[in-house]
Structure 1
Amino acid sequence: MSLGVSEDELFQAYQITSLYPQRWEDPGTSRQGRRSVDFGGSTEEWSDPLGLRPTLPASRIRGEEQFREVNISSKSFDPKVFLNTVHPNASYAELSQGTNMLKQSIEQRSEALKVLVNENFDRFVSVKATTDSIFRSMTDPEDGPLSNAPTEGIQGLRASVVEASSKADAVFRPVLENYVKSMKLRNTLGVFQRSRFFFNLPGSLQDHVEAGNYEAALRDYKKGRYLLESRPGQLLPIQTDNNAGGKPTETQLAQQQRIFARVWDAVEDIMYRMQSQLLDILRDSKRSVDEQEKCIQVLLELDPLTDPVAVFLESQHSHIRLLMQNCFQQEDRALRTARSTSQVKTYAHLDVALDLHENLVLVRTSNDTKPTFDTVLGAEVWQATEEMVNHVCQTALQSIPIFWRVAKDHADGKFIKDPSLRSNIDKQSLAWAIECIQVWVKQLYVFFQLESFRERQGRPLFSQLPSWVPDPTCSLIATHHLGRILLTITETVKELRSLKIPGTSTQLNALLLDTRFQFIEVMCFLWLRDARYCHYMEDWVPNTQQPEITSYLFAFSVFNRWNAREGFFLADVRSHSKQESHENEVDSAFIDRLKTNFVKVLHVFLEGIATAANASQDIPELQMTLHQLQGRSLPPARDHDTRILLTVSNLSHLRAQIIGAWVKQFEEAYHVSLINEKQHLLDECNRLEGELLGDSVQRKGQLLKDTIRHGILESGIDWGALPKPTGVNAFVFRALLLLVQVHAQIRATVPALVSRIIVALVEIMADAILEAYSQVRQFNMGGMLQATLEIEFVHQTMSFHVSPRAESTLKQVYETISHRYSSSVSNRNDPALQKELESVKATLIESRKATALEFLCFRKPKSDSKKSSTK
C-alpha cells in the first residue's frame, strides 16, 4: 500500500470535505450534488453503452431524474429517453454499430462472469455449508434458541405489547373516535364552506332587495341558478360507496334534491316579491327615467318572455293624464279663489289711476332691475296665474319626457331580448305620447281662451279683456307677468319639441304663436286703457331740469317706454331680412298690431293732456287722494290759465323734441317707418296747442274787449263834444294793466310764451279799439285828439308786441277817426289843428314818462336791442 496519498485524494475517496468534520456528511448527497453540477465530468459514473459519445451531453440533462433515465446502470433507465437525450441525431448506421458494440459488451461481461464463477466455485460451496450449519444449530431441539416455537424468546415482549395495546385502546380510543368525528365535521364544514354562497343566497337576496340593490340581487340569483344547474355535486357532495362503483344512490340523490328545493323555493319566493316590487316602481311616476330603465332591464333578465315596458307605458300614460287633469283643476280652483278675493269691491277711474301711479313708482324706483309688483291691484291673481302655468308645465315636463324616452328606446330595440317577442306597444305608445301633448295644449287653450293667430290677425283689437286677466289691473304689472308666463310656456314647448315626437311639432308651434299673439293683444288693450287714465297723474309740478314743462312728461315717457319694450319681448321680433318668410310674416302681423296701438296711445295721451288742462279743480284729484292716503304735501294750486300755459308749453316741447324721439326709438326697435303717423301726431300737437292757447287768449281778450268797449262807448264820453285832451283816459290804463297781469303770470309760469300771448292780446285789443271807434258817429277836434292820444299811447307802449296785423288794424283806427272827424269839419287844414296836435304830442310824452315804470315789462329787451343794432 502506498503511503504517498494526498489529502485531496483522501477527501475524494471518502467523499468528505475535512479531516475533522463538525457535522455528518452524507456521501450519497455529495454524489448527487456533484452530478447535478456536472453530469458528464466522470467517466466512472457514466459511459456510453453504444460507444458513440465520450461524455454525457450536460446541456440536455434537466435534473437528477432525467440522468437516472439515461444511465444504463439505473433501475429507472428508459431506452427511449436515452436515445432522445443522448443520441437524438444519430443515423441508422451509427445506431447499428452501437447495437453491435452493445452485444459485444454484454457477451464480454457474460464471459467474465463465467470465468469468475469457475475460479471461485469452492468458495461459494464453503459459504453455503457454513450458512446451513448455523441454521441447524439455531434450530436444535435440545439447546437451540429457536427449538420450541417460532415465538420462543419473545413471549414476554409480546405480553407487554398486548398489555400496552389494551391500555392504549382504553385511553386513546375515545380520542381517536372524537378525532374521527371532528374530521367528519370538518369535512362537512368544508363542504358547506364551499357551498356557503348557495345556502346563504336567500338571506343575501333579501338584504339586496330591502336595500334596493336589484342589480346585485339579479347577479347573485343568476350565479346561484348556474351552480344549481351545472354543479350540484360541488354544492352538496355525496359520499359514495366504492363497492357501488362510485355512483350515488337514489336515496342520496333524493335527499340532495330536497335540500336544493328548500333553498331554491325560498330564493324564488324572494325573487317573485322583487319582481312585484319592480313592477310597482314602474308604475310610480315619481321615479327617475334612469331608475325606471334599470328596473326594466332587471325584469327582462328575470323573465325575458314578458314585456315590462308595456306595463310601464300603460300605467305611465294613465298616470300622466290623471296627473295633468288633477293639477289643472287644483290650480284652477286656487286661481278662482284668488280672483274672487281680489274682486270684492268695484273700482272707479280714480282708483285705477291711483293703481297706475303706484305701478309707475315701482318701475321708476327699480334701479334697472325687475320691480316687485306685490302690492298693486291684481297682483294675487297674476301670481296665481303664473303659478298655475308653472305647475302645469312642470307636470308635463316631469312625466312626458320620461314616458317618451322609454317608449323610443323600446322602439329602437333596447329593451327587447328576443325580436320575435316584439309587441304592438310601439304604435300605441306613440299615440299615447301625442295624446298627452294634446291634453297639455288643450288645457292652455281652454284657460287662456286662445284663438288661431290666422283668424285673430285680421280682426281689430278686442273690446273686452279675456276672463282670465284680472280686472282691474295695470299694463305694467300685466306685461311683467305675461313675459314670465310666456317664458315658461316657451321653455316647455322647447323641451317638448326636443323630444321629436312625430305629429306634435305643429300643434306646439301653434300654441306658442297663438299664446304670444293673445298676450300682445292683452298688453295693447291695457296699454291703451291706461293711457286714458294717465292725465290723472298730471300734478303740475315743474320738471327739475326743465322748469317750463311738468314732470308728467317724464312719467308718461317711462310708462310708454316700459310697454313698448315689453311688447318687443312678447312679440319676439326678429330682424327683418330682404327675403320673405313665414317668420317675417308673423313678425309683420305682430308689429302692425303694436305699431297701431303705439300711435293710438300717443293720440290718447295728447287728448289726456288737454283733459288735464281743462280740469275743474285747481288741485288734481289724484294728488288729493295721495295726500289723504300717504300724508303727502299737496302741490301748489294751479288756476285754469296757469294750467293752460303749462299744457301749451308741454305740447310745444312734445312737438319739438319728445315725439320725434319716441317715434325714432320705436322705428329702430321694430324696424318700421312711422313718417305719416309722426306727422299726424305733430299736427295733433299743433291743433291742441292752438285750441288751448286760443281759448286762454280769447278769455283774456274778452276782458280787454269789455274794458275797451266800456271805456269808449259805455262810460258816457261824448266824442263829438270833448274839450282838448289833458291826459289818457283811465280805461286805457286798465286795459294795459290787464296785459301787465297777463305778462307777469306768463313770465312766472312759461316765459317762452310771453311774446306769443301778448302779441295775440294786442291784436285782440286793436280789433276791440277799431270796433268801438267804428261805432262813434262823429268826432269834434277834442274827441279826435283824445282818441288819437290814446291810440298812440297804446301803440308806443306796446310797440315791441305789435304784430303786422295789429299795426294794420291800428292804421284802420287812425283812418276811421280821421274820416269821422273830417266829415264833421269843413276845413281840415286849420292852423289851430296843427297847434293842438303838437300839444297832444307833449301830453303823450308826459303820459309815457309817468307810466314808464308800470309798463316797463313791455319794453324791448336789451339783448334784443343789441342784436338788432348789430345786424
Structure 2
Amino acid sequence: MGPPPVVTGISPKEGPPGTRVIVRGEFLGTKVQDLIGLTICGCDCLLSAEWKSSNKIIARSGPCKGRGDIIVTTRSGGQGTSTVQFRGYYETIGPMKESAVWVEEPPLENFVWGRRALSPTNYQQDDPLGLSVEGNDKKFPEDELVELFGESSGELTNEKFHPGWFLLQHHHATTMEDLKAGLAYLKRKVNSQKEGQLSFLKANVGSVMEQLDTLMLLKDQFEADVKIYGDDPTLKLEESIKRSMSEANKLFDDVLARRDKADATRNALALMQRYKFLFCMPINIEKNIKRGNYDLVINDYARVKNLFKNTDVDVFKKVLIEIEKRICALRILLRQKLEEMPFSLEEQKKLIRNLVNLETEGDPAWDAIDSHAKYLDKSITKCVNEHMLKLENINSDNSIHKTLKSVQINSKLLRINKSDENNVPPQISCIESICDIVIEQLPDLWRLGQCYFTGQLHVMVDTEKQAPFKNLVLSSMQHAMETMKSICGANVEAPWLLHILRCVRQMYASLIHLDLPSDALDIFGKFTYDLRLQCLVALFKQTAENVSSLYRQETWQIEYLNEDGGVTKLPYLFENIVVETTKLARETIVVCGPREGPLFSTTAHQTLYYNSIKNLFTSFARCLQQLAFSGSDEASDDEDTSVSQLVGSPTGYKSKGHKHQGPTWEQCLLISLSNIRYTLNTILPKMREFLKSQGYPDLSAAVDWNTDWTQLDTLDTAVLDAYLERRCDPLVGTIEPSMYLGGLEWDFDTEPTHLKPYAQEILANLIAVHAEVRRVAPALLKRVLSHIVETIAEELARLMSCVTQFRPAGIIQARTDITLLRNALMPYSTPRARNFFEEALDAIPKLNNKQDLVKIETLLLKVTTSMQLQISCLNCDVADKNTYTTTDGERVTIV
C-alpha cells in the first residue's frame, strides 16, 4: 500500500463546466490503470481524465458550481486529499462565446411563406454599453459581490438589477475611457428611440421589409387557394372539422370501454397480489435465510402474523403452518450460529435481537454470554495444545535447548535480536496467542454482559445472574492466568521473559480500560507482579552467566594505573555489564505500569534483589579466580628462572631459548591482585551509589561491604599466597646452598673483603621480584616484599643459630652480611622481620676487640658504597605512581 495522493496545485483555479483543468500533486498514480477516481467539486470527472505522470493529470470539469476539493483516488494509495480548491460557475452562452458545452438551439425551420425564423431567443443579450468583454477573462469573485450588494443581481432582466454589480461582473477590467464611450453609446441609443416613427423605421428598416414580404406572400397564397377551392374555401374546412370531431368521439368511446376493462383487471390483480405475498412467503423465507437476510424474514413474518393471525380461511391456515415450520428452523439455525463463534459484539447483538423478535423460548442473551465464555476457555485450551504439540516435536529433535538458547545476549543491552524473532519458541508464541485471545474476546464478553444487565439486548433482565456472570469472567481470567503461569514456569530465558512481560502488560492495560471489578483485575495484577520478579531473577541470573564468561575477553593489557595497581579492562567490562543490566531492569521490570505496585515493597523481595546483586559479584570473583590460576599447570611444568638458584646466574628473565607468549603466570597473579583490589575498593562502592541513584534499595542496609563479600577477600589472599609461594619459596630455598657453596664454613681466617655470595644473591633476587612487581603493580610492592623479607629474615635467623663454630673473620663476615641485609631491606621489614634479623645477629658471637669492630664498620661502608645501585633499586620511591612499566616493557606516564 503506497502513500495516498495529494493535490497541491491546479490550473486554472475556476471556470464553467467543461473547463480543461491541469491537476498537479504527488503520488497521483503509478500508471494509467492505477487511477480509479477523480472528482472536482464533487463531480465525477474520471471519464475525461488523462493521466500524464504521477505528478500530473488533465481533466474536464463537470457541472459544478461553487468551491470544492479535487480528490484523486488510486489503487495503490486509496483516496487522497487536496490543498487547493476549484471554483465552478455557470455563465450564459451566446453565439459568439466559445464553450465546451453543447448549446441547445431550436431548428431553423421555414415558415409556410418561405421566410426563415429569427435568431434563437435564448442567447445572451448584447452588452448595453456596446463594449467587448473578450478581454475580461478573469472574473470578479462572486463571494465579494454578494458581500457588497447583498440580494441584488447583475442580470439586466432581474427586478433587483444593480448597475454596480453589472459593471464589476462584466467590466471590472475596462478602463474609464471605454466606460465613458459606452455611456455615450447608451445615451445615443436611448435618444434614437425617442425621435419618432421615422427614426424608428430608419432603425428597423430591415424588419419592416421582412414584414412586407410576408404580407405579399400571404396574398399570393390566398389567391392560389381561391382558384383551387373556390370563392369560399372555409366550407370544406368546416366539413373536415366535423368529420374530425365524429372520428374523435368514436375514438373516445373505445378508450372509455378499454379503461373500464383495465380497471376491472387491475382490481383483480391487486387482490391476487395481496394474497400472493402470503402464498410466496415460505419460498421467500427459504431464499432470504440462504442469503442471510434474517431481518427481512422477521419483518415479513411479523406482517403475516398481523394480517392473518385470526383468519378462518383453510388455505391461509395451511400456508401459516408452513411458515411456522420454516421460522422454527430459523430459530434453531440462529441458536447454532450463536453457539458456534467467533462473532463480533455487534453480530452477537444482532443474532440475539433476531431471536428475541422471533419470540424464541428461553434466554438467548444469557446463552450467548455462556457460549462466549466457553469459547474463550476452549480457545485458550486449543492454543496451548497446538503449541505444546510443536514443543513435543522440537523435543523429539533434541533441539529445544537450542531453541530456547537462540537468544543472543548483548554485552551492552539484553534484548532479542531481529534474527531471533523468526525463531520464537513455542512457549513464547503460545503466551502471545493467549494474550491476543484475551484482548480480543474478553472485552466483548464483558461488554455483552453489561448490555444484558442494562437492558440493551431487549430481553427480560434477571438480576440474579450478576453473580454467575462475574464468576464466568473471573474463571476465564483465572484460566488464562494459570495457563500462562504454568508456561512461564518452564525453562525460559531472560530475554523471552521480558518479551512475555511486555505482552502481558499490553493485555493488562487493555483490560484496565474496561472498568472491570478490582478482584478481576487483581488476577492479572498479581500475575504481572510475580512475572516481574521472575524476570528480575532470570535477568540477573543470565547476567551472572555472562560475567562468568568474561575471562575469555581478558587480554592482560594494563589499561589504567591507580592506587591499587595496574588494572586491565576486565573490571570495566564487568562494571558496564552490571550498569546496563540494572538500567534495562529498571526500564522494563522495576518501573511500575498502570495499576502496578512497587517491586521491592517487601523484605523478602528486597532480599531476593540483594542476593541477585551479590551473585553478580560472586560470578566475577569466580571469573577472576579462573583467570588467576589458569596458568598454574603450565607454570608448574616450566623451570622458574626469575629467582637465581646458583651464585652468579642471571636473574629476572628466562633463558633466550624459551619461547613465551604474553605475561608469565606470576605477572598474571599480580594483575589479578590489582583487579581484585580495584573491584573491592572502587567498583563495589561505585555500584552501590549507582544502584541507589537508579531507585534500587540501598545495598548498605542489607550487605556489609567489608565482610559479606568474603569471596573476593579470600580470593585476594589466595592469589597473594600463590604468588608468594611462586617467588618466596625458591628464593629462600637458595639461601642455605649458596651460603655453604664450595664447602665453606664460618670458621675461616681469611680477611673478608665483600659480602658473601648468598647475601648478594638475596639482594639480586629481591631486586628481580621488586622489578617484576613494580612493572606490573607498583602498589603491591610493600605488601609482597614485606612477606618475602620476613621469610628471608626468619631463614637467616635459623641458619645463624645452626652455626656451631665462628672464627673472628667469620664473625666479621657474618655480622657484615646480616647488618647490610637488615639495613637494605629496612623499608620492607615488618616488626617480625626486624626481630628475626636481631635473632640472627644475636646468634653470631660478639667481638670485644675495637679493632675488629672498626673492620666491620669499614667493610660495611665499603660494601654499601660499592652496592649503592642495588640498594637504591630496593629503596626507590614506591609512591612514584605517575610512571610505570607495562608488561610489554613500555614506559607509560599518567597525566
Could you state the TM-score of these two structures normalised by the residue count of structure 1?
0.58
**Structure 1: 5+ residue stretches without partners:** 1-159, 233-249, 450-467, 471-477, 576-580, 621-634, 823-827, 867-871
Larger-gyration structure (1/2): 1
| 1:295 is the counterpart of 2:351 | yes
Aligned to 2:602: 587
CA contact (8 A) 1:712 1:773 kept: no
Equivalent residue, structure 1, for 2:426: 384
1:558-569 → structure 2 map (5 Å cutoff): 558-561=576-579, 564=582
- Correspondence 1:315 to 2:371: yes
Q: What residue identity is the alignment partner of 1:383?
A: P
Cα distance, 1:573–1:594 mapped onto 2, change above 3 Å: farther
The answer on whether the counterparts of 1:619 and 1:638 sit within 8 Å (CA) in structure 2 is: no
* Contact 1:278 1:299 (8 Å CA) reproduced: yes
Query: 1:479, 1:566 within 8 Å by CA — same for their partners in 2?
Result: no
Instruction: Work out the CA distance in 2 between the residues paired with 1:305 and 1:698.
Output: 96
Q: CA deviation at 1:328?
A: 1.3
Aligned residue among 820, 843, 849 for 1:829: 849
What is the identity, as a one-letter code, of the residue corresponding to 2:697? H
Q: Is the 8 A contact 1:704 1:738 kept in 2?
A: yes
Aligned CA distance change for structure 1 residues 541 and 188 (closer, same or farther; 3 Å):
farther
Closer/same/farther in 2, CA of residues 582 and 512 from structure 1, 3 Å limit: closer
Offset, 1:732? 2.8
How far apart, in 1, do the equivalents of 2:665 and 2:379 lie?
Answer: 64
Q: Which residue number corresponds to residue 629 of structure 2?
A: 614
Contact map agreement 1:313 1:407 (CA 8 A) in 2: yes
8 Å Cα contact 2:365-2:459 kept in structure 1: no
Structure 1 counterpart of 2:495, which letter? H
- Maintained 8 Å contact 1:602/1:681: no
Q: Distance in 2 between matches of 1:716 and 1:821?
A: 24
Between 1:713-722 and 1:835-844, the stretch displaced more is 835-844
What's the counterpart of residue 182 of structure 2?
none
2:793 is aligned, of 766, 770, 781, to 766
Tell me, in whole angstroms, the C-alpha distance in 1 between the residues paired with 2:411 and 2:545: 18
CA contact (8 A) 1:218 1:302 kept: no
Instruction: Give the Å deviation of 1:653.
Output: 0.6
Task: Measure how far apart 1:401 and its partner are.
Answer: 3.1
Query: Contact conserved, 1:490 with 1:512, CA < 8 A, in 2?
Result: yes
Question: How many percent identity over aligned positions?
Answer: 17
- Alignment partner, residue 439 of structure 1: 479
**Matching residue of 2:574:** 556
2:859 corresponding residue in structure 1: 840
CA positional deviation for 1:339: 4.5
Q: Which amino acid aligns with 1:674?
A: S
Specify the SS of the correspondent of 1:548. Answer: strand
Structure 1 pair 265–679 and aligned structure 2 pair: CA distance change class (3 A) = same
CA distance in 1, matches of 2:606, 2:351: 52
Post-superposition Cα deviations, 1:551-588, rounded to whole Å, max 9, x if no partner, equal 2223333444455556667874879xxxxx99799533
Whether contact under 8 Å (1:606, 1:685) holds in the other structure is yes
Distance 1:686 1:589, change over 3 A: closer
Which of 671, 676, 697 is 1:671 aligned to?
697
Counterpart of 1:372 in structure 2 is 417
Counterpart of 1:480? 495
- SS for the counterpart of 2:567 is coil
Correspondent of 2:491 among 469, 473, 480: 469
Matched residue type, 1:858? L
- Asked if the contact 1:401/1:499 (under 8 Å) is kept, the reply is no
**Matches of 1:164 and 1:289, distance apart in 2:** 75
Instruction: Say yes or no: does 1:500 pair with 2:516.
Output: yes
Query: Are the counterparts in 1 of residues 785 and 828 from structure 2 also a CA contact under 8 Å?
Result: yes
CA deviations 1:637-672 (Å, max 9, x no partner) are 443212211111011111211111223334453334
Q: In structure 1, how many angstroms separate the alpha carbons of the residues matched to 2:500 and 2:473?
A: 24
Q: TM-score, length-normalised on structure 2?
A: 0.57
Structure 2's unaligned 5+ residue stretches are: 1-239, 636-659, 883-895
Q: Does 1:404 align with 2:446?
A: yes
Note the alpha carbon deviations across 1:593-651, whole angstroms, 9 max, x for none.
2213433443453354234312246899xxxxxxxxxxxxxx95443212211111011
Counting strand residues as a fraction of each chain, which structure ranks higher?
2
Give the match for residue 647 of structure 1: 672
CA RMSD of aligned residues (A): 5.3
Aligned to 1:53: none
Q: Distance in 2 between matches of 1:488 and 1:164?
A: 94
Give the stretch that moved more between structures: 400-409 or 800-809: 800-809
Distance apart, 1:730 and its partner CA: 2.8
Tell me how many residue pairs correspond in the alignment.
611
Asked if the contact 2:770/2:785 (under 8 Å) is kept, the reply is: yes
1:527 positional shift: 6.0
* Matched AA of 1:652: R
Query: Do the aligned partners of 1:300 and 1:306 also contact (CA within 8 Å) in 2?
Result: no
| Residue 119 of structure 2: aligned partner | none
Moved more, 559-568 or 646-655: 559-568
In the alignment, which residue of structure 1 is the partner of 2:45?
none
Task: Name the SS for the 1:678 alignment partner.
Answer: coil
The aligned counterpart of 1:692 is: 719
Letter in 2 for 1:293: K
Q: Distance in 2 between matches of 1:488 and 1:174?
A: 86
Deviation at 1:721, TM superposition (A): 1.2
Per mean C-alpha deviation after superposition, the further-off stretch among 727-736 and 167-176 is: 167-176
Q: Determine the C-alpha separation between the residues in 1 that align with 2:520 and 2:260.
A: 80
Specify which of 493, 496, 504 is matched with residue 489 of structure 1. 504
Deviation, structure 1 residue 163: 12
Alignment partner, residue 337 of structure 1: 393
Q: 1:315 to 1:603 in 2, by over 3 A?
A: closer
Change (3 A) 1:773 1:374: farther
AA aligned to 2:686 is A
Distance 1:275 1:619 in 2: 88
Partner of 1:857: 873
State the distance in 2 between where 1:545 and 1:830 align: 56
CA distance in 2, matches of 1:541, 1:209: 83
C-alpha distance in structure 2 between counterparts of 1:506 and 1:690, whole Å = 52
| Letter of the 1:596 counterpart | N
Amino acid at match of 1:739: L
Judged with a 3 Å threshold, the aligned counterparts in structure 2 of structure 1 residues 522 and 188 are, in CA distance, closer, same or farther, namely same
Q: Contact 2:449/2:469 (CA < 8 Å) preserved in 1?
A: yes
Report the secondary structure of 1:283's partner residue: helix
Q: Distance in 2 between matches of 1:538 and 1:427?
A: 62
Equivalent residue of 1:596, what SS?
A: helix
Q: Which residue of 2 aligns with 1:326?
A: 382
CA distance in 1, matches of 2:244, 2:855: 190
Q: Paired residue for 1:20?
A: none
For residue 725 of structure 1, report the CA deviation from its aligned partner: 1.5
For 1:15-414, list aligned pairs within 5 A: 177-178=257-258, 181=261, 217=296, 221=300, 228=307, 278-303=334-359, 307-341=363-397, 343=399, 359-360=408-409, 362-364=410-412, 366=413, 370-372=415-417, 383-414=425-456
1:545 to 1:261, Cα distance in 2 relative to 1, 3 A = farther
Q: Tell me, in whole angstroms, the C-alpha distance in 1 between the residues paired with 2:582 and 2:685.
A: 15
Distance of aligned partners of 1:678 and 1:864 in 2 relative to their CA distance in 1, 3 Å threshold: closer
Q: Which amino acid aligns with 1:295?
A: L
Q: Are the aligned partners of 1:645 and 1:750 in contact in 2 as well (CA < 8 Å)? A: yes
Alpha carbons of structure 1 residues 178 and 283: separation in structure 2 relative to 1, 3 Å: same
Give yes or no for contact 2:372–2:445 (8 Å, CA) kept in 1: yes
**Aligned partners of 1:390, 1:525: CA distance in 2, in Å?**
24
- Please tell me whether the aligned partners of residues 824 and 875 of structure 2 are also in contact (alpha carbons under 8 angstroms): yes
Which has the larger helix fraction? 1
Q: 1:335, 1:381 within 8 Å by CA — same for their partners in 2?
A: no
Deviates more, 1:494-503 or 1:776-785: 494-503
Task: Name the structure 2 match of 1:539.
Answer: 554
Deviation of 1:771 after TM superposition, in Å, equals 2.4
Q: Is contact 2:671-2:777 (8 Å) kept? A: yes
Whole-angstrom distance in 1 between the partners of 2:856 and 2:586:
75
Match of 1:744, SS state, is: helix
Match of 2:781 among 734, 751, 754: 754
The match for 1:779 among 788, 799, 806 is 806
User: Structure 1 pair 797/434, CA: closer, same or farther in 2 (3 Å)?
Assistant: closer
